[in-house]
Amino acid sequence: MGLWRLANWKYSPQQTVQLLDQLLELGVTTFDLADIYGDYRCEELFGEALKLKPELRDKMEIVSKCGIKLVSDQNTYALNHYDSGAAHVTAAAESSLAKMNIEQLDLLLLHRPDPLMDADELAAALDRLVNEGKVRAVGVSNFLPHQFELLQSRLSRPLVVNQIEVSLLHSAPLFDGQLDYCQRERVISMAWSPFAGGDLFVGSGEASLRVQACMEELAQELDMEPQQLALAWLLKHPAKMVPVLGSGRLARLRSGIAALERELPREAWFRLLRAARGRDVD
């Protein structure tokens, strides 16, 4: 469950607790945050809910990310940029703990590959955060294989996750080596924007329209909703991606979870791929 829109929902802490309760009941236990989500406010909102009902913490895995410096009222940055330096990463992780009122992050991800990444320095900082118990495991987001290998080469523990953008409308990672690398190295891949920000269902681009038409056919044939088809399409991939869902509506999430039960037939998978790319396989 992705919480990057938590600040938009304007929930009271009580309402957030209620949502978290319902999600945990549905079996959704992983919560995906980042320091910058909601203009740096989501972690705090999440933390206020946890303060109200601290026993929820132990039923969850909490993921956060750092390494982006976003222009905001909260700071004086002149432009959006990255910082994978030890000082910033350490401070950001500690700030995440403080804002969420927790002792440990289950997973800390570097949010973007920083062209200035000094792998020795960053790996040492990440190792230290784990050794100090502030972080249970570390990973990355949006890293290409060569960036992953560079950081891994200096780290004394495995990077366990790469969270990347994958969907029917963003299928390049299935072909360019990103998911092959995850499969080979047994790195967990999390898929962000698994519905392409909604374009899969309501977009008006050519690819969107083709996918929508194909989904309409398959919805009939297989008795599955479009959202289920989109998720089942991701879940059939052998890299065993974990989609990051970002809806606050329970109905949507319930239907998404139902998708976990349904395997897409191979032909249906390739029909969706053909619709997305506008061409047959070679």
Closer by beta carbon to its own copies, 44 or else 127? 127
User: If phi over 0 gives left and psi between -120 and 50 gives alpha, with beta otherwise, what is residue 101?
Assistant: left
Considering the complex, what minimum distance in angstroms separates the CB of residue 91 from its own copies? 14
Q: Which of 11, 37, 82, 181 is catalytic?
A: 37
| Dihedral over Cα of 177, 29, 257, 52: its sign | negative
37 given a catalytic annotation? yes
Closer by beta carbon to its own copies, 19 or else 86? 86
Say how many C-beta atoms besides its own lie within 10 A of residue 207's C-beta.
Answer: 18
Closer by beta carbon to its own copies, 44 or else 180? 180
Provide the binding-site residues for its own copies, judged by CB under 8 A: 77-83, 85, 112, 115-119, 121, 142, 144-147, 149-150, 153, 171, 174-175, 177, 180-181, 183-184, 236-238, 266-267, 269-271, 273-274, 280-282
Considering the complex, what minimum distance in angstroms separates the CB of residue 196 from its own copies? 16
**Across the chain, which distance is largest between two alpha carbons, in Å?**
56
Listing DSSP states for 205-252 in one string gives: SHHHHHHHHHHHHHHHHHT--HHHHHHHHHHTSTT--EE------HHH
Closer by beta carbon to its own copies, 29 or else 80? 80
Considering the complex, what minimum distance in angstroms separates the CB of residue 244 from its own copies? 17
The helix (H) or strand (E) run that includes residue 82 is: strand 81-82
Considering the complex, what minimum distance in angstroms separates the CB of residue 183 from its own copies? 6
Q: Which residues are catalytic?
A: 37
